Amino acid sequence: MATPHRLSLNGLRAFEATARLRSFSAAAEELSVTHGAVSRHIRTLEDSLGLALLQRTAQGATPTNEGLRLAEGLSTAFGLIQSSVEQLKPGPLTLACSESIMMYWLIPRLNRFKEINPEVELRFNMSHGPIDFAYDKVSVAIRLSSIDPPKEAVRADVAHEWIGPVCSPGYLQNHRIESFEDLARARLMISLTRPTAWADWASCSGQMSPELRVDESFAHFYLLIQGARCGLGMANVPHMLVRDDLMSGTLVAPMGFVCGPNRLAIWTAPHLSRRPDVVKLVDWLHDELRASEP
């Protein structure tokens, strides 16, 4: 077999389609070329490789053993190319954020975005970790600064994340939690998505006391917050997730909030960063996150 220096992509495409469809005519229709063009491309490919790839019959074309192996590899390769192209095609505006941010921060404010941008269609991706903009089809993401963004991401650290302990008014009254020392007799709770919440808060508060004991863990912040509402104990949470509960009196923060170790960041897909609807969403998120700081 001759060693080719460069094979024609048109020839490879024509052969793959013909081998898959078992027909020159069907391949020509799929590729929007003539029957003769397909035949010539394949003949040139066979000459370059120095072997027969197809058995031509009156009924169509059947791959030889060598042709079958090549066709299988080409089908996989062309499928990967098509998949890669599809991932990069502009899709609907999609915002990625955690379930808790969606429930407790975004949804209560979303009507403001829709009122000023009624023409913008917005979809959501519920996640809180690393992302691949193309594979996950995400346009914009809200993330903590502790998470590394994709290398190509347009990143803006927008606001500080404020953290602190909250509980129900009834729990506070029954246990009289007023100082750091009082936490020793409180039932402390965390979200498993933030296992160091109490240690982070103590450090940022300048407390050098012994490590706080955690009594109960919940899988997500939204479950943790519900537990605090129901009087199960003290939850250490970001202020942005309980701002509305504090304003309504459903929860109280007896020791206030401190600036935590993280910042809230907005990541934008680089190939979408100048699209008008993306710009509108990013600008709005920037303003809302800044306004949510205590």
Among 88, 112, 139, the domain boundary falls at: 88
DSSP state of 212: P
For residues 39 and 156, state if they share a domain.
no
In a domain, 204, yes or no: yes
For residues 52 and 65, state if they share a domain.
yes
Backbone angles phi, psi at 174, to 5 degrees: -75, -30
In a domain, 2, yes or no: no
The residue written with tokens 């965390």 in the block is 190
Q: How far apart are CA 101 and CA 266, in angstroms?
A: 13
Amino acid 253 reads: A
Cα dihedral 38→41→45→51 (10° resolution): 50
Domain harbouring 48, CATH code: 1.10.10.10
For residues 167 and 210, state if they share a domain.
yes
Among 41, 72, 88, the domain boundary falls at: 88
Q: How far apart are CA 256 and CA 239, in angstroms?
A: 9
For residues 67 and 168, state if they share a domain.
no
Predicted confidence at residue 3, as pLDDT, reads 47
Q: How far apart are CA 245 and CA 252, in angstroms?
A: 8
Predicted confidence at residue 2, as pLDDT, reads 46
Predicted confidence at residue 80, as pLDDT, reads 82
Among 88, 115, 141, the domain boundary falls at: 88
In a domain, 226, yes or no: yes
For residues 184 and 198, state if they share a domain.
yes
User: Domain containing 71: what range?
Assistant: 9-88
Spatial contact of 27 and 18, defined as CB atoms under 8 Å apart: yes
For residues 77 and 99, state if they share a domain.
no
Of 259, 234, 243, the residue nearest 166 (C-alpha): 234
Predicted confidence at residue 5, as pLDDT, reads 60
Predicted confidence at residue 34, as pLDDT, reads 92
Helices (H), the chain: 9-21, 24-31, 35-49, 65-88, 99-101, 107-116, 133-136, 169-175, 197-204, 221-229, 239-248, 276-291
Q: How far apart are CA 31 and CA 14, in angstroms?
A: 8
Predicted confidence at residue 87, as pLDDT, reads 63
For residues 19 and 164, state if they share a domain.
no
How many CB atoms neighbour CB 54 within 10 A? 23
In a domain, 76, yes or no: yes
- Quote the number of domains for the chain: 2
User: What is the chain's pLDDT, residue by residue, as a tens digit (294 residues)?
Assistant: 444 468 889 999 999 999 999 999 998 999 999 989 999 999 999 999 999 999 988 778 899 999 999 999 998 998 888 767 766 666 789 999 999 999 999 999 999 999 999 999 999 999 989 998 888 889 999 999 999 998 889 999 999 999 999 999 999 999 999 888 899 899 999 999 999 999 999 999 988 766 788 999 999 999 999 999 999 999 999 999 999 999 999 999 999 999 999 999 999 998 888 999 999 999 999 999 999 998
Predicted confidence at residue 276, as pLDDT, reads 92
State pTM to two decimals: 0.71
